Amino acid sequence: MIGSDERILTTHVGSLPRTDELIQLIHRRGQDETVDQTELDSAIAEATERAIQRQAEVGIDIGNDGEQSRPGFHIYVSDRLEGFSEQTIPRPRWADVEDFPTYAGKAFPDIVSEAQTRPVAVEEVRYGDGSIVEREIERCREIRDRTGVQFEGTFMTAASPGVIASSLGNQYYDSNDEFTFALAREMRKEYERIADAGMILQIDAPDVLSERHRKFKNQSIDEFKTRVRQRIKAINEATQGIPAKQIRLHCCWGNYEGPHHRDVPLEEILPLLYEANVGGLLIEYANPRHHHEWRAFAEHPLPDDWQLIPGVVDVKTNIIEHPQTVADRIGTLAEVVGDPTRILAAPDCGLATLAGHHTVDPEIAWAKLETLSKGAERASKDLLS
């Protein structure tokens, strides 16, 4: 992992606002319309260059390509994995939203619906030739070098086996666990390519928290913990051979503006997350439902060789935090961890998790990242001067 003894570094969770042109092309392709590949590639390159340059402008130290080429942080894998067929299947309702049906019908009509069309495994899953992720890596590297942007480090995200198993359907494997470990064996190819390129590998695993009130909402907490332990084990198998210090794990309770009162407490799951062979943990903290959960790190101290990457900017509101609020949040967790150099500052989650779906207005998203940097600067003066 990358840190500094002189200041609190900043990063983010992966997805950043895309250009309107790119969003339209991604949506057209998603509707099986014919899209000129040259036009799409050009739009991706333009949007990626914009994302990289704007990160530098707002003071992001450890940046990425903004996931510009992906339709979503996890559904992108359907373009890289084989063995799936598009089908309409039932979807689990979210327990917190179910408690407020009138609100749910207005705010989440797609969640209230009984079914959705999505890829379903109908035969053994296989990862493709890897050319798509290779193009992502090369595009990010080329634009970064050509524009002269010098991040302290560069990361690339990849969906965890568990979140894929929760998001895509399965009609081939005998159990969700078997499906998860099959995905782990195949996604390993993507993880290794990212690591071999010298990038920090960020494993996006919101499922180890958010699926408590979704897919596994009818299970006991002990049963859910068994699911989490299996999914962490799958991540470890998929990343075996990659240095732990080159991997960071992102977990969250779902990137949506909803009640969240059914979220599993962090203290219940945090010890299980420590079983992951990684070097850093990105976790929500600015989310009002979880702002008190710094106490979980007091009860379950961070492993000695890990970095904590707390979300100190909320991505589910268009309110731009004051830099001092950001600095105070950093300071609270730095005190709990005991060493401010082990803290990186980040938002709670992605700022454009799905192409075209923005809880936060794109320009406000960039303003939030700028206040993140200003807050980290204030915290650095308080904690490291």
Residue type, 291: H
- pLDDT tier at 110, thresholds 50, 70, 90: low
How many other CB atoms sit within 10 Å of the CB of residue 252?
Answer: 25
Average of per-residue pLDDT across 229-238? 98
Residue-averaged pLDDT of the chain? 95
Q: pLDDT per residue over 162-187, tens digit each? A: 999 999 999 999 999 999 999 999 99
Give residue-wise pLDDT tens across range 330-339.
999 999 999 9
Nearest to 371 by CA among 326, 316, 318: 326
Neighbours of 28 (CB within 10 A): 13
Q: What is the pLDDT of residue 91?
A: 76
Q: Tokens 């990361």 appear where?
A: 155
Q: Is 351 helix (H, G, I), strand (E, B) or coil?
A: coil
The structure's pTM equals: 0.96
Q: How far does Cα 21 stand from its chain's mean position?
A: 24
Q: What is the pLDDT of residue 90?
A: 78
List, in order, residues 6 or more apart from 196 with CB less than 8 Å away: none
> In which band, very low, low, confident or very high, does the pLDDT at 85 lie, cut at 50, 70 and 90?
very high
- Average the pLDDT over each of 109-118, 187-196, 234-243, 275-284 and give the range with the smallest value: 109-118
Residue 109 has pLDDT above 80, yes or no: no
Mean pLDDT in residue range 257-285: 97
Of 78-82, 110-114, 314-318, the one with minimum mean pLDDT is 110-114
d(CA 294, CA 286): 11
Strand partners, 179: none
| Mean predicted confidence (pLDDT) in 37-47 | 96
Tokens of 29: 């392709």
253 has a pLDDT exceeding 70: yes
Residue 355 pLDDT > 90: no
What are the residue ranges of helices labelled H in 239-361?
Answer: 266-273, 294-299, 323-337
Mean pLDDT for the stretch of residues 45-58: 98
pLDDT given at position 158: 98
Q: Which residue segments constitute the domains of the chain, with CATH numbers given?
A: 9-384 (3.20.20.210)
pLDDT of residue 115: 65
Residue 244's pLDDT band, with cuts at 50, 70 and 90, is very high
Contact of 125 with 82, CB cutoff 8 Å: yes
Look at residue 113 in the predicted model and tell me its pLDDT: 55
- Helix, strand, or coil (residue 282): strand
Neighbours of 342 (CB within 10 A): 19
